[in-house]
């Protein structure tokens, strides 16, 4: 009879430990899932920002666009003929 009570106590302790392990692993999985989703959102935002920067780079590296912007926003004009100087290598 004493062995039965000891066996039941061991099984109850084992059940409690197993339940605690399951709950803690589920909590860890949910936390990991939230972090993963947050990282996915960040990745998506960075990919969109990268695409926007690529488009901006293309627009800013186009010499016609640069010249147009310089004329419109900065009031720059082409150099006069006496401002040019050609040097041979």
The overall pTM is greater than 0.85 = no
> Domain range for residue 9?
2-74
89 residues of the chain, pLDDT tens digit each: 677 888 999 999 999 999 999 999 999 999 999 999 999 999 999 999 999 999 888 877 778 888 888 888 888 888 787 877 777 77
Whether 11 is in a domain gets the answer: yes
CA distance linking residue 50 with residue 42, whole number of Å: 12
Distance linking the first and last C-alpha atoms of the chain: 107
DSSP per-residue string spanning 23-87: HHHHHHHHHHHHHHHHHHHHHHHHHHHHHHHHHHHHHHH-HHHHHHHHHHHH---PPPGGG----
Whether 83 is in a domain gets the answer: no
Whether 32 is in a domain gets the answer: yes
Whether 36 is in a domain gets the answer: yes
Whether 80 is in a domain gets the answer: no
In total, how many domains does the chain have? 1
Whether 46 is in a domain gets the answer: yes
Whether 87 is in a domain gets the answer: no
């Amino acid at each position: 009879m004493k062995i039965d009570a000891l066996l039941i106590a061991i099984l109850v302790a084992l059940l409690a430990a197993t339940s605690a392990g399951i709950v803690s692993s589920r909590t860890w999985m949910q936390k990991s899932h939230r972090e993963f989703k947050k990282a996915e959102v960040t990745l998506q935002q960075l990919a969109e920002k990268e695409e926007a920067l690529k488009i901006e780079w293309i627009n800013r590296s186009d010499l016609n666009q640069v010249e147009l912007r310089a004329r419109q926003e900065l009031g720059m004009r082409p150099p006069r003929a006496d401002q040019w100087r050609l040097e041979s290598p």
